[in-house]
């Protein structure tokens, strides 16, 4: 790892100003929990000349929950999202996703802002060889995308994004000095790319200050499942979030989001349509799951993910019942 | 060490304690101590003595190689190949040398661990070793800080002339595949085993066949069979992944060399260093206080150690070189892959008539990717045909790995035996009862282990294959282990006793985390009537008497008889000196509870230290060698003395298979094992737990993945190289029998490798019982499991 300068930011404005000064020669990067950044720096994929520590900024770690919805400060840790009782009672799929991310140690340090901004876990992307020596052909793509995989086969790594998309979340970005914007998460996330230095719409000098989630309607049921090979600690084969707005026993509105199977988490619109107007039972769940994987275009080594995803969609729908 | 001196016949009770003990006669050296009774009648041996270095380890006081800090020490960084196959046209180190803080740079002249060309002429004009795998060490730099060394290493300029390469076994087997070597090769064995038979034919990347173990008429064997089962099994490359990576501190000064090494054999480090640097062995001292795991890959100085020594000599300062996790995965050893086509014929009653194996294995640039000896020496069978080929690929070299060959072989073989049982509608345990019939200790041990295991495991509750309804199916399976009982060709122990009662015990062998220090102390303490804490044990230093490598499951079997004999000689010496003080004869005195007392009149006694003081003892030194086993050996291969009696072991597994997601969980494992006399049951249990955990990890997760285009290992870390974690560790129950084979003065045998050999096969057989489908491919990832469940093949 190369030497770098460390700055404890005192305010969002100061951090934004420091980050705006980034250049190709002297990159300036932001650090929240530091979980992803440290990995990238150790591997030589990110070689900052200056690291701006956001953890020293107060007021970025509030959880505000009221009738209009929820606002999560960017520095709220995954461990708090997992445990916050109010959050869990309204947004269970998000709490579940946080509770199944990484390891307890990582969850204590990792933040929601960093989680959304993290780079792909693709083993080509994570190897400096494919940034400096050779181009990646992604021929070992067993963990990669089974949908929309013509441009890139890499998948976005955030598992919190999966339920957040199902909840129609957006992110709030600021450049400091009153200049800010709110972007829907579905627009914010970009298909990962080896050559870019980010996989989101965030601009140089912009700080992600909070994540905003609309209020949940009455009679909403939700579930989340992350399917891994191992229980202890593992990256997903796929993860699925289901948010159902019920009218009695019948589904009035459904949101089904599939993570780790496409470059960015993917809405399973066909599956949602099958559920609307029906009761949730084994049959409707099986039909919706089949619809969810219908557009899959698996690669030579990842067809198994289609089967796994179908099973997980079915099970997650039934779990939301 | 040859047996000298007079021999005598002694009558003893041999067998399995609590099962069957029968009288035997053994011819043994007259100087050997009387046979020990069962563990229940001993005071220290056979007891759960806590690991003597536990506190040092958990408090961080234990000094591992990475902790060695010498005055003026430099830090080394290796420079490794970024291409899979190439000639090196030129290397320019000038920028590296000029980097601030750099003290020495060295380019490797010769690569070890890899196979060597039979005719070195084919590459005689190469200025540098030809690159045959991505990550191959080329050079190293030593600097005043690790940071400077790393930065300087980036500045090397290497001009490669790329050559075509191949990384996958199936492609490498094709006749038109790029050749990893330009001609036939040889692979010498290391102290850890491995190596390949000499003089085999080689065409392209295919070296073989080796037909070792074949006998009888295979055609006739299949004609005689009532049923034939056939399968093609595949196992992956597993990397050793010890917690502590390979590391060495080299200190060359005044033409003497001191090496601090993370190693499984200090003497092999000395031997290889002496050979490479043309130094007399007495000029080299190798120290290994603690080694953080080995599993078979830590022998000799290797390429990285060689680089560190060169750097130390050039810089005139000590140099520390510790591998990073990527280097550890890529270039210092792995368990080779295998492709095994196995066909077995049997009579209706289970009797085996034919075993036919065509196997291929790739150990990358190293030969020696065999699949063990179980096919021809586990169960009697009149007709066995074996053809094995090593297949070279542009990948890091294999090395011995916990049950080398046998772990891959048993995965296929014990599944095939399970398949015979299924075809004959016989219980798999009953089939083994029928066919596991050689006249040897391991056979008798397994018979007891099957019976005990089946009862403890609840084997009778096992249902028919695939009988669970619903997507998650459970099943039970079992598999057997066999591993040679090995004694090292030389082992000497020394016991020194001071007049103040202090006892020091010395042997050069090392403790790689298995508890060698503790069993050494227990054996000496038992003989002297002391507690193990009273023995100051010294290991891991070539200045001490020669001791065995920590490999081949042979440390306890080799060390403890020598230790006991040295302590026994010391005790007799003391007894004779103390006897006049107690108005007794030396042979009337016994050592018990910290005292020396008259056997028939314990009231006549002296405390151990007091007796020494009053007898005027200043110091006593006694040495003893590990004498040959009383009944000798089946064969000797260098320092490996192999008994006709092997080590057994039977494991039972229960799994659940999620047939929709392909996720397999090992719910519980029962491991029933023998290791001769368990010197320390707690440590034996710990070894077996480790073997099972590593076996589950091999069965379900571990899989080195190479990128075909670049030869880069994509998962050379412990994030994406998946290993079993705490939540995937099954409930493991261990049961150890006490087998007194009466072949040495302690009856101890090994257990490290037997504990690992059968696990994957037991899990695979449980998979079959759960699903009615066989899993032919490791690891049992969702991709492989779902493919197996969809397969037409049963």
Q: Do A230 and B725 touch (CB under 8 A)?
A: yes
Strands B601-607 and B619-625: unpaired
Structure tokens, A245: 């707005």
Given a cut of 80, whether residue B765 has pLDDT beyond it is: yes
Please name every residue paired with B605 in a beta bridge, in sequence order, or none if there are none.
Answer: B597
Top residue of A123, A143, A238, A261 to mutate, by most chain B CBs within 10 Å, is: A123
Asked if the peptide bond before residue B779 counts as cis, ω within 30 degrees of 0, the response is yes
Which is nearest to B410 in space by CA: B731, B763, B732, B701?
Answer: B763
Q: Report percent pLDDT > 90 for chain A.
A: 97
B-chain CB neighbours of A261 within 8 Å are: none
Strands B256-261 and B284-287: parallel
Q: What's the gap between Cα B699 and its chain centre? A: 18
Residue with tokens 């619109």: A269
Which is nearest to B780 in space by CA: B767, B793, B794, B790?
Answer: B767
Strands B21-29 and B116-117: unpaired
How many whole angstroms separate alpha carbon B452 and alpha carbon B449? 5
Please name every residue paired with B74 in a beta bridge, in sequence order, or none if there are none.
Answer: B319
Q: Are the CB atoms for B621 and B496 separated by under 8 Å?
A: yes
Strands B86-92 and B319-322: unpaired
Which is nearest to A314 in space by CA: A295, A296, A292?
Answer: A292
Given a cut of 60, whether residue B21 has pLDDT beyond it is: yes
Cα separations in angstroms, A183 against A191, A211, A262: 16, 10, 21
Given a cut of 90, whether residue B548 has pLDDT beyond it is: yes
Q: Do A229 and B663 touch (CB under 8 A)?
A: yes
How many whole angstroms separate alpha carbon B180 and alpha carbon B102? 35
Top residue of A106, A239, A307, A317 to mutate, by most chain B CBs within 10 Å, is: A307
List pLDDT tens digits, range B434-466: 999 999 999 999 999 999 999 999 999 999 998
Residue with tokens 């520390």: B320
List pLDDT tens digits, range B131-172: 999 999 999 999 999 999 999 999 999 999 999 999 999 999
List pLDDT tens digits, range A175-208: 988 899 999 999 999 999 999 999 999 999 999 9
How many whole angstroms separate alpha carbon A201 and alpha carbon A181? 11
B-chain CB neighbours of A311 within 8 Å are: 471, 658, 660-661
Which is nearest to B743 in space by CA: B666, B643, B647?
Answer: B643
List pLDDT tens digits, range B87-140: 999 999 999 999 999 999 999 999 999 999 999 999 989 999 999 999 999 999
List pLDDT tens digits, range B364-401: 999 999 999 999 999 999 999 999 999 999 999 999 99
Q: B542 falls in which pLDDT band (50, 70, 90)?
A: very high
The pTM (predicted TM-score) of the whole model is 0.97
Q: Do A134 and B712 touch (CB under 8 A)?
A: yes
Average of pLDDT values for A251-255? Answer: 98
3-state secondary structure of B94: helix
Is the C-alpha dihedral spanning B172, B175, B180, B185 positive or negative? positive
List pLDDT tens digits, range B395-430: 999 999 999 999 999 999 999 999 999 999 999 999
B-chain CB neighbours of A121 within 8 Å are: 720
Given a cut of 80, whether residue B190 has pLDDT beyond it is: no
Cα separations in angstroms, A316 against A92, A219, A281: 13, 17, 12
Q: Are the CB atoms for B792 and B439 separated by under 8 Å?
A: no
Average of pLDDT values for A123-133? Answer: 97
Q: What pLDDT sits at residue B194?
A: 72
Average of pLDDT values for B595-624? Answer: 97
How many whole angstroms separate alpha carbon B560 and alpha carbon B751? 14
Q: Do B661 and A308 touch (CB under 8 A)?
A: yes
Buried b (16+ CB within 10 A) or exposed e, B25-37: ebebbebbbebbe
Structure tokens, B501: 């009662």
Q: Do B663 and A129 touch (CB under 8 A)?
A: no
Q: Do B783 and A133 touch (CB under 8 A)?
A: no
How many whole angstroms separate alpha carbon B32 and alpha carbon A169? 80
Given a cut of 80, whether residue B193 has pLDDT beyond it is: no
Q: Report percent pLDDT > 70 for chain A.
A: 100
- For A41, list phi and psi in degrees, rounded to 5: -70, -40
Q: Do B707 and A307 touch (CB under 8 A)?
A: no
Q: What pLDDT sits at residue A177?
A: 83
A-chain CB neighbours of B705 within 8 Å are: 123, 140
Q: Report percent pLDDT > 90 for chain B.
A: 97
Instruction: Name the interface residues of B facing A (CB cutoff 8 Å).
Output: 82, 147, 151, 471, 658, 660-663, 700-701, 705, 707-710, 712, 714-715, 720, 722, 724-728, 781-783, 786-787
Given a cut of 70, whether residue B191 has pLDDT beyond it is: no
Min Cα distance B719 → chain A (Å) is 8
3-state secondary structure of B315: helix
Which is nearest to A265 in space by CA: A136, A127, A167?
Answer: A167
Numbers of helices and strands, H then E, in chain A: 13, 12
Residue with tokens 């586990």: B378
Asked if the peptide bond before residue B277 counts as cis, ω within 30 degrees of 0, the response is no
| Cβ neighbour number for residue B141 with a 10 Å cutoff | 31
Buried b (16+ CB within 10 A) or exposed e, B151-186: bbbebbebeeeebebbbbbeebbeeebbbbbeebbb
List pLDDT tens digits, range A135-156: 999 999 999 999 999 999 999 9
A-chain CB neighbours of B709 within 8 Å are: 134, 137, 139
Q: B4 falls in which pLDDT band (50, 70, 90)?
A: low
Q: B1 falls in which pLDDT band (50, 70, 90)?
A: very low
How many whole angstroms separate alpha carbon B703 and alpha carbon B722? 7
Q: What pLDDT sits at residue B2?
A: 46
Structure tokens, B332: 């210092």
How many whole angstroms separate alpha carbon B64 and alpha carbon B519? 21
Contacts of B285 (CB under 8 A, 6+ apart): B256, B257, B258, B259, B270, B541, B542, B543
Given a cut of 90, whether residue B55 has pLDDT beyond it is: yes
Average of pLDDT values for B65-76? Answer: 97
| B526: exposed, middle or buried (Cβ count in 10 Å: 0-12, 13-18, 19+) | buried
Which is nearest to B403 in space by CA: B371, B377, B380?
Answer: B371
Q: What pLDDT sits at residue B189?
A: 79
Question: Angle at the Cα of A114 (from A109 to A119), degrees rounded to 5?
Answer: 120
| Cβ neighbour number for residue B234 with a 10 Å cutoff | 18
Given a cut of 70, whether residue B58 has pLDDT beyond it is: yes
List pLDDT tens digits, range B654-703: 999 999 999 999 999 999 999 999 999 999 999 999 999 999 999 999 99
Instruction: Name the interface residues of A facing B (CB cutoff 8 Å).
Output: 2-3, 121, 123-124, 126-127, 129-130, 133-134, 136-137, 139-140, 142, 227, 229-235, 237, 301-302, 304, 307-308, 310-312
B-chain CB neighbours of A133 within 8 Å are: 82, 710
Which helix H or strand E contains B161, and what residues bound it?
Answer: strand B157-162
Q: Name the maximum alpha-carbon separation found in chain A.
A: 61
Which is nearest to B13 in space by CA: B26, B31, B3?
Answer: B26
Average of pLDDT values for B504-517? Answer: 97
Which helix H or strand E contains B89, and what residues bound it?
Answer: strand B86-92
Given a cut of 80, whether residue B313 has pLDDT beyond it is: yes
């Amino acid at each position: 790892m190369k030497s770098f300068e460390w700055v404890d930011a005192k305010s969002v404005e100061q951090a934004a100003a420091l980050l705006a000064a980034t250049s190709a020669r002297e990159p300036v990067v932001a650090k929240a929990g530091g979980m992803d950044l440290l990995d990238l720096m150790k591997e030589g994929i990110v070689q900052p000349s200056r690291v701006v520590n956001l953890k020293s900024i107060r007021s970025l770690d509030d959880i505000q929950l009221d009738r209009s919805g929820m606002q999560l400060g960017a520095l709220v840790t995954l461990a708090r999202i997992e445990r916050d009782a109010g959050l869990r009672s309204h947004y269970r799929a998000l709490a579940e996703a946080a509770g199944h991310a990484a390891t307890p140690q990582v969850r204590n340090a990792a933040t929601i802002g960093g989680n959304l901004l993290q780079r792909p876990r693709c083993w080509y992307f994570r190897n400096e060889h494919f940034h400096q020596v050779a181009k990646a052909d992604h021929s070992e793509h067993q963990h990669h995308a089974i949908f929309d995989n013509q441009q890139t086969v890499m998948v976005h790594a955030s598992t919190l994004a999966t339920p957040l998309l199902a909840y129609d979340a957006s992110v709030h970005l600021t450049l400091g000095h009153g200049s800010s914007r709110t972007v829907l998460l579905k627009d914010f996330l970009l298909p990962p790319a080896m050559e870019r230095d980010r996989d989101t719409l965030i601009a140089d000098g912009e700080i992600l200050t909070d994540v905003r989630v609309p209020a949940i309607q009455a009679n909403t049921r939700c579930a989340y499942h992350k399917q891994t090979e191992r229980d202890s600690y593992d990256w997903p084969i796929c993860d699925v979030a289901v948010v159902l707005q019920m009218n009695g026993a019948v589904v009035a509105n459904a949101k089904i989001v599939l993570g780790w199977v496409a470059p960015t988490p993917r809405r399973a619109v066909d599956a949602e349509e099958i559920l609307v107007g029906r009761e949730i039972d084994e049959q409707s769940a099986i039909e919706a799951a089949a619809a969810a994987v219908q557009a899959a275009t698996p690669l030579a080594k990842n067809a198994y993910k289609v089967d796994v995803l179908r099973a997980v969609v079915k099970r997650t729908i039934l779990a939301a019942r | 060490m040859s047996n000298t001196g007079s021999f005598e016949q002694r009558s003893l009770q041999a067998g399995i304690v609590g099962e069957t003990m029968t009288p035997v006669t053994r011819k043994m050296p007259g100087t050997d101590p009387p046979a020990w009774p069962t563990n229940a009648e001993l005071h220290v041996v056979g007891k759960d003595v806590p690991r003597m270095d536990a506190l040092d380890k958990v408090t961080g006081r234990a000094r591992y190689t990475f902790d060695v800090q010498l005055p003026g020490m430099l830090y080394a960084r290796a420079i490794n190949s970024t291409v899979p196959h190439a000639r090196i046209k030129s290397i320019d180190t000038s920028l590296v040398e000029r980097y601030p803080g750099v003290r020495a740079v060295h380019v490797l002249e010769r690569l070890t661990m890899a196979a060597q060309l039979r005719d070195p002429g084919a590459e005689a004009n190469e200025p540098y070793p030809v690159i045959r795998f991505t990550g191959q060490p080329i050079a190293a730099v030593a600097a005043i800080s690790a940071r400077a060394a790393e930065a300087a290493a980036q500045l090397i300029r290497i001009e490669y002339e790329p050559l075509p390469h191949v990384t996958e076994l199936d492609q490498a087997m094709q006749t038109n595949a790029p050749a990893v070597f330009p001609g036939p090769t040889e692979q010498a064995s290391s102290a850890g085993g491995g190596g390949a038979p000499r003089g085999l034919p080689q065409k392209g990347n295919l070296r073989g066949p080796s037909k070792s173990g074949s006998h009888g008429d295979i055609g006739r064997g299949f004609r005689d069979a009532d049923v034939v089962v056939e399968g093609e099994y595949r196992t992956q490359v597993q990397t050793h992944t010890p917690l502590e990576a390979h590391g060495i501190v080299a200190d060359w000064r005044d033409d003497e060399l001191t090496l601090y090494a993370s190693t499984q054999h200090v003497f092999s480090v000395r031997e290889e260093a002496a050979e490479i640097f043309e130094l007399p062995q007495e000029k080299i001292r190798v120290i290994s206080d603690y080694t953080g795991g080995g599993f078979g890959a830590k022998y000799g100085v290797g390429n990285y150690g060689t680089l560190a020594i060169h750097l130390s000599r050039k810089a005139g300062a000590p140099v520390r070189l510790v591998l990073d996790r990527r280097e550890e995965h890529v270039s210092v050893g792995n368990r080779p892959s295998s492709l095994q086509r196995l066909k077995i014929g049997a009579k209706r009653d289970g009797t085996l008539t034919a075993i036919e194996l065509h196997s291929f294995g790739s150990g990358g640039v190293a030969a020696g990717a065999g699949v063990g000896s179980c096919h021809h020496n586990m169960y009697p069978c009149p007709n066995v045909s074996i053809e094995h080929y090593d297949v070279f690929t542009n990948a890091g070299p294999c090395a011995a790995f916990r049950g080398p060959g046998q772990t891959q072989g048993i995965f296929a073989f014990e599944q095939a035996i399970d398949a015979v049982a299924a075809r004959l509608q016989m219980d798999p345990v009953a089939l083994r009862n029928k066919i596991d019939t050689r006249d040897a200790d391991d056979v008798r041990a397994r018979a007891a282990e099957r019976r005990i295991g089946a009862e403890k495991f609840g084997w009778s509750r096992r249902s028919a294959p695939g009988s669970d309804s619903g997507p998650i199916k459970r099943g039970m399976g079992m598999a057997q282990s066999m591993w040679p009982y090995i004694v090292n060709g030389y082992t000497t122990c020394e016991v020194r006793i001071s007049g103040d009662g202090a006892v020091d015990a010395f042997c050069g062998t090392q403790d790689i985390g298995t508890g060698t220090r503790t069993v050494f102390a227990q054996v000496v303490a038992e003989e002297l009537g002391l507690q193990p804490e009273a023995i100051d044990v010294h290991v891991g230093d070539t200045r001490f008497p020669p001791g065995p490598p920590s490999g081949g499951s042979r440390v306890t079997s080799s060390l403890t008889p020598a230790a006991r004999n040295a302590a026994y000689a010391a005790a007799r010496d003391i007894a004779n000196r103390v006897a006049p003080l107690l108005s007794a004869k030396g042979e009337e005195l016994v050592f018990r509870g910290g005292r020396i007392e008259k056997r028939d009149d314990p009231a006549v006694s002296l405390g151990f230290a007091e007796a020494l003081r009053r007898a005027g003892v200043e110091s006593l030194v006694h040495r003893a060698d590990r004498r040959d086993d009383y009944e000798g050996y089946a064969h000797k291969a260098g320092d490996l003395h192999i008994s006709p009696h092997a080590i057994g072991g039977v494991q039972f597994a229960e799994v659940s298979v999620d047939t929709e997601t392909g996720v397999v969980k090992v719910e519980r494992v029962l491991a029933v094992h023998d290791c001769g006399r368990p010197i320390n049951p707690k440590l034996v249990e710990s070894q077996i737990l480790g073997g099972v955990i590593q076996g589950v990890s091999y069965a379900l997760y571990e899989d080195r993945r190479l990128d075909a285009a670049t030869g880069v290992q994509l998962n050379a870390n412990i994030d994406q190289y998946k290993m079993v974690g705490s939540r995937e560790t099954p409930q493991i129950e261990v049961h150890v029998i006490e087998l007194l084979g009466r072949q040495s003065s302690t009856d101890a045998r090994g257990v490290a490798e037997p504990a690992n050999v059968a696990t994957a096969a037991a899990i695979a057989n449980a998979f079959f019982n759960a699903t009615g489908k066989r899993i032919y491919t490791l690891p049992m990832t969702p991709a492989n499991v779902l493919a197996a469940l969809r397969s037409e093949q049963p």
